[in-house]
Structure formats: C-alpha cells, structure tokens
Structure 1
C-alpha cells in the first residue's frame, strides 16, 4: 500500500507543480518574456523534485518541513487558480478584458496569502467545543471532562500554547483532564530547551490530569517522554487503568506499540460498574470498544485531516474521523487536536479543546 500511496503523491505533486508553473507564467506574463516564463516553469519542477529527493535521502526534519510547506503552497495555488477561474467566468460579461485581467492578477496572490493567513490562525487559535452526554451508570454529580489531543510540543508549538491551554482550563474548570497522545513531537529536545515543564505543570484538575502515549511519543524516545510528562505532575496511563473519584480512567499506548494489551485486558479486574473513561490515541477500534463497559472514549491522531481536502480522505479511513458518536451505551470522541503535525497550518480544521459534561442515568 505504501508504494502505491507514494506513487500517487508523486504524480499529484508533478501535476500541481505544472499548475504552479502555469499560474506563475500567467501572473507575470505582462512583465517578462517567453524565456523567463520557461525558467519559472523549470524552477518550479526543480524545487519540487529536489525536495522529494531530500525526503528519499532522509536529510532530516528541516527538509520534511520545507517539503510540507511547498506541498501546501502547491495546493493553495490550485485553490487560487480555481477561484480566479470562477471569478473570470462570472465577471467577464461585465468588466472589460484588460481591466479584468489586471484585477484577477492582483486577486490571485492575495487569495493565496489569505489562505496561508487563515491556516496559520487556525493552527494557533484554539476553539472550545462543548458536548453533554448521559451515560448508563450512576454519578453522584455530573463530571466535566476537558480533553485535548496531539499537542506535538516542539520547536513550533510550546510554552505560549501551554499557557493558553491553562487559561482555557482555568476558565472552564473541568473535573478531569484527558490528553490522549502525541504529547511531544517525536522527542523532548525542544521541550527541554524551551523549559516547557513549568508551563506544562500548571495544568491541573481536581480529579487529575491523565495522558497516554501516541505514535509520535513512541518513536524511540518514549522513556524520556514518559518521564517528562510525569515530572510535570501528569499521570501517564501507558496500558493501565486507575481509579479517581469513583471513576475508572484507562489509557492505551498507540498501536505502534505491538505489545499493548487490548482495552478489555486493561479493564480486567477493574470495577466497571463505575464510569469508565478511556484514552486511546487512534480511533481504530471503536466498534470493539462499544461492546465493553466503556462510557466515554477520547481519541485524536487524525487531526481532521489538518489541511483540506485531507479531511475528506480521513473520512474514508475511520468510522469516526472527527467529532462525537454514540454507539450502544458508549460515547466516542475524536478531536482534531490542540497542536498540529509538521507545519503550523490548518485549513478545514482548527486547534481545539473539547469540554464534555457527563451526566449519570
């Protein structure tokens, strides 16, 4: 499957690069000659394929991030080309050709810049989403859960965003906070360099703050990541369950951990007549979990595609790629994430925190 996906992406990048080249040729046509326009096209293909070769040679995170930025630029230029073409169809009967051409040449780069601005805003400006659910178990009083996945703490997402999250928690006053994985962005180098621990340690809730490990927490630095999260006063539920305030809270490592137990095994021996909250990074086994005495499951990983139209792609891969669904007596939540992966851009998704008010029957 991976070679097929890689080949499809490679072909799309070549097609989108051709689109970028043609767009640049059109944009600068009044200012440059044919030879310069040819250089623009060649230059676009050189950049695309140099970045691809850099990825194949595994030249590091910097190459990956620049490739991601370039891919987003190619995508946004295609969006701008489509918007410009539609405007041309609408306005050509009302505006003189020369005037319309000048206006559209001004509009196209502005549209690309606006998309980047919106995507950057969505990545760094969290929204709070609310949901109230009723479970089929008794609760002495409603429990307010705050959940946020995929912090990806690293060089592009750090202390300032942690402080912003703490401010949201202080305002919403949750009883318990659940962080279902991808806490760090592969390692703890930037976390330590920026001294994020004091900021992370400010996150508190009466019934505790709990995290589990996502795939990016398990890329060879899981021991250090586990220890840093615990040092911040956050309990890491790495394939285990605990009880707090009459609630069972269980957590599973991401399925990159091939030795992780099933949710049923983790809950074995626990009093599941009490409310059960599960943190499971990927929403890949929700049908199976719906047959267990799990009342609320929180997941992330998918990022709601992060940049459209990837949200349409992940919709086909997961039953619950985003949002809330009740299956049987269980409530499942998949968040688009508080941070982001790779580059600080989101389109068709936004940084978010979920506040879930849980009522008993």
Structure 2
C-alpha cells in the first residue's frame, strides 16, 4: 500500500514539475533529463566525536547509494563511479541500498559483482537492503551480488571494524518499506562506549534510532527530493523520507544522533534530476578522544 501511495504522489508532483519546466523552456527539460543526472557531486565532510578512537583519526569513509541500475543508470556509469571511489582512497565503503531498479528484470545483473569487487577499502565494505533490492523478487538476487562482491550485507545485525587495537561498530537494518527493520535486534550487544554507525536506507527511522546508542546514521532513499524547484523545495519525498530528505540533521536531546541523507546516484520512476545532483559522500573521522 505505501508503494502505491508514493507512486500516485510522485506522478502528481511530476506533472507539476513538467508544467513548471515547460513553462520555463525546453532547455530546462533537457537539462533535468540529460545533464544534471550525470553531474556527479563529491561532498566532503569531517565527523568529530569524542567516541571516535584515536586509531580511527583521519580514517576515510565513502557512502554511495541508490544507483538504480537499469533505469537511466548503466554499468559504464557504475564503472566510472568505482574508479572515482578508488581514486579517493577510502578506508571504509558503505552502500546504502537500491542497487538495481528492478532486480528480476535487469539482464546484466551478472556483470555487477565483478565491478563492485574492484572497490578498494582496507577496513571493510558494507551494504544494506533498500526497497528496490527487495522489490521484484530481488532479495536473493541482491544478496548473491553483494556476497560475490565481497561486501558484508548487514540485515538487522552489527559488526566491529577493528584497527590498531581499537574498534568502531557498524549496525545495518532492513528496509522500512518492503523489509522488516529491527533496530533493537541490530543493536544487540553494542558497546556503549564505542562509536556506532547505523546504516538505514530509510532516513526517517532516525527518530526511532535516536533512542539507541547510535552516534551517526547514514541513509539514502530520498534522492534529495530528486526534483526541486525554487521557492517550492523538494517535490518528491517518498515514504520514510518525508521528514529527513537531504544532508545533515541532529536528532535527539543531550547526545543527539547525527543523520546524513545522501542524494544517491540514479533516478527512479522518472528520469529527471533538477537542483539535486547525484552525490558521492566522503566522511573523514576526527577523533577528540584520548583513547
């Protein structure tokens, strides 16, 4: 039911977008369809926290999300993306869901894993399910690709990343639309003194996650609104990305959870991006700790 509602809402807003774009010029339509979707923006941020161990100071994390392969995002673009990721020399890589737009219809699925396997991240590569990874009977297809790619696929569970006698913890939960996310289960046995990073495709689950000992949540799903218009803002906010849809948010009280919502790389439903460029995010950890 939520998926039907989102499609209806998307189409209604898209019609408004078309009217606005055609009211401006055919050039705006061309830009949104053929130019902006290929304008990769690399955003770089420093993440400081007392819980980050000194051993992880200046360690680099790259997040990529929402490729939607098969819907105006192809393997050549993925290959170029991987080259860019490796050129940035990450220590850790996170993929936060929606690899293929329709997994059971994507005929080149067997070519994805050899490309993803090229990603170099000495401290680990991790992935979670998005709604499109479950859709189209895709759950097992996505799992198989990630395992062949040697990504660690987290499904309501956590893992430690250890380096030089210290560690941080990565929590991964299932998708909110088509999966069964369980933050409580995923957070079981977490070390309260550790620096804890949650991967959740759906950003709005941050409200629930803020009740747990989680320092940073990384999400996708929203595409940053995918289509934004001046004075109107984001036109497309799918379910579970209606409250938080782009960039940083602080959620909670005394020790707030930091949420970052990545705009993703591909498109879905309609092949447009407007004022919402595809994004690759680089986070550099900064330790304020004496440990």
Alignment TM-score > 0.5, same fold? yes
1:344 CA drift (Å): 3.1
Greater Rg, structure 1 or structure 2?
Answer: 1
Structure holding more strand per residue: 2
- Match in the other structure for 2:91: 175
Whether the aligned pair in 1 keeps the contact of 2:206 and 2:259 (CA below 8 Å) is yes
In the superposition, the TM-score normalised over structure 2's length comes to 0.82
Q: CA, structure 1 residues 169+191, in 2 after alignment: closer, same or farther (shift >3 Å)?
A: farther
Distance change (3 Å), C-alpha of 1:138 and 1:349: closer
Q: CA deviation at 1:233?
A: 1.5
The runs of 4+ residues in structure 1 deviating greater than 6 Å are 1-10
Q: Which residue of the other structure, out of 243, 247, 256, is the alignment partner of 1:319?
A: 243
Would the aligned equivalents of 2:71 and 2:266 in 1 still touch at CA under 8 Å?
A: no
Which residue of 1 is the match for residue 146 of structure 2?
Answer: 229
TM-score (normalizing by structure 1) = 0.68
The residue matched to 1:217 in structure 2 has which SS?
helix
Higher-RCO chain (CA-CA 8 Å, sequence separation at least 6): 2
Determine if the alignment matches structure 1 residue 159 to structure 2 residue 75: yes
Deviates most, 164-173 or 223-232: 164-173
Check if 1:248 corresponds to 2:169. yes
Q: Name the CA distance, whole Å, in 1 between partners of 2:21 and 2:80.
A: 32
Aligned residue in 1 for 2:42: 128
TM-aligned CA deviation for residue 257 of structure 1: 4.4
Matched, 1:277 2:184: no
Kept in 2, the 8 Å contact 1:186–1:218? The answer is no
1:225-276 C-alpha deviation (Å, 9 max, x unpaired):
1111211121111221111121211111101345432x23211113242211
Give the gaps of 5 or more residues in structure 1. 14-70, 84-110
More displaced 10-residue stretch of structure 1: 224-233 or 151-160: 151-160
**In the alignment, is residue 79 of structure 1 matched against residue 3 of structure 2?**
no
Q: What CA RMSD, in Å, does the superposition of the two structures yield over aligned residues?
A: 2.9
Question: Runs of 5+ in structure 2 lacking a partner?
Answer: none
> In structure 1, how many angstroms separate the alpha carbons of the residues matched to 2:145 and 2:202?
22
Higher helix share: 1
Q: Deviations over 1:282-322 (max 9, x none)?
A: 11121222232212111011112212347156399633211
Q: How many residues align?
A: 273
Residue 171 of structure 2 contacts residue 187 of structure 2 at CA under 8 Å; is this kept in 1? yes
**Residues 191 and 169 of structure 1: is their aligned pair in 2 closer, same or farther, counting only changes over 3 Å?**
farther
The 3 A distance-change label for structure 1 pair 339 and 191 is farther
Q: Is the 8 A contact 2:21 2:28 kept in 1?
A: no
